[in-house]
């Protein structure tokens, strides 16, 4: 069996838009990751960037189930002694409203150069305004 390589010139990349208002953060991230990987296309191959562009609007208004709004924590470390920091979800939304959606989306993409190039095709916005109307994005219903 031969390995399939699709030439970048023959790939047709579309733009999709997902409205996250009132929808669960994880469900939105899963739908966006599938489109970014290209799993919605018949010519999908796991080793190539086959996916389309995804715009996520109203990322700040995505909801979390249960008590995650107060209990979910994001951790980071400065690599200096005593540099461990923890921030809960509600504080992170106040500080950087797009980070929780980007963090969830990045965690669902592959690690390495392919995942980093796929993540550049995702555009996350806290509000309903975005500068990509010229691309005529296709609305995705969840």
Instruction: Say if residue 4's pLDDT is above 80.
Output: no
Structure confidence at residue 110 (pLDDT) = 96
pLDDT in tens, 95-132: 999 999 999 999 999 999 999 999 999 999 999 999 99
Instruction: Say if residue 1's pLDDT is above 80.
Output: no
What are the start-end ranges of the E strands in the chain?
A: 15-19, 53-57, 73-77, 84-88, 122-124, 138-139
Three-class SS state of 123: strand
Candidates 100, 120, 122, 118; CA nearest to 109 is: 118
Q: Where are the alpha helices (DSSP H) in the chain?
A: 25-37, 68-71, 89-95, 99-107, 113-119
Helices and strands (H, E) in the chain, number of each type: 5, 6
Structure confidence at residue 45 (pLDDT) = 87
Domains of the chain: 15-65+98-139 (3.90.1180.10)
Candidates 74, 69, 99; CA nearest to 87 is: 74
DSSP for residue 44: -
Q: How far apart are CA 47 and CA 117, in angstroms?
A: 12
Instruction: Say if residue 39's pLDDT is above 80.
Output: yes
- Is residue 122 left, alpha or beta, with left meaning phi > 0 and alpha meaning psi from -120 to 50? beta
């Amino acid at each position: 069996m031969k390995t399939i390589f699709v030439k970048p010139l023959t790939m047709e990349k579309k733009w999709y838009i997902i409205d996250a208002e009132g929808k669960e953060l994880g469900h939105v991230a899963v739908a966006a990751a599938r489109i970014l990987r290209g799993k919605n296309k018949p010519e999908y191959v796991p080793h190539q960037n086959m996916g389309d562009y995804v715009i996520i609007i109203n990322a700040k208004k995505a909801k979390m189930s249960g008590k995650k709004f107060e209990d979910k924590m994001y951790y980071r470390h400065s690599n200096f002694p005593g540099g461990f920091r923890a921030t809960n979800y509600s504080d992170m939304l106040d500080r950087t409203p797009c980070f929780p959606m980007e963090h969830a989306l990045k965690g669902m993409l592959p690690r390495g150069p392919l995942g980093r190039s796929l993540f550049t095709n995702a555009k996350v916005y806290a509000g309903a305004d975005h500068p990509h109307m010229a691309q005529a994005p296709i609305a995705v219903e969840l």
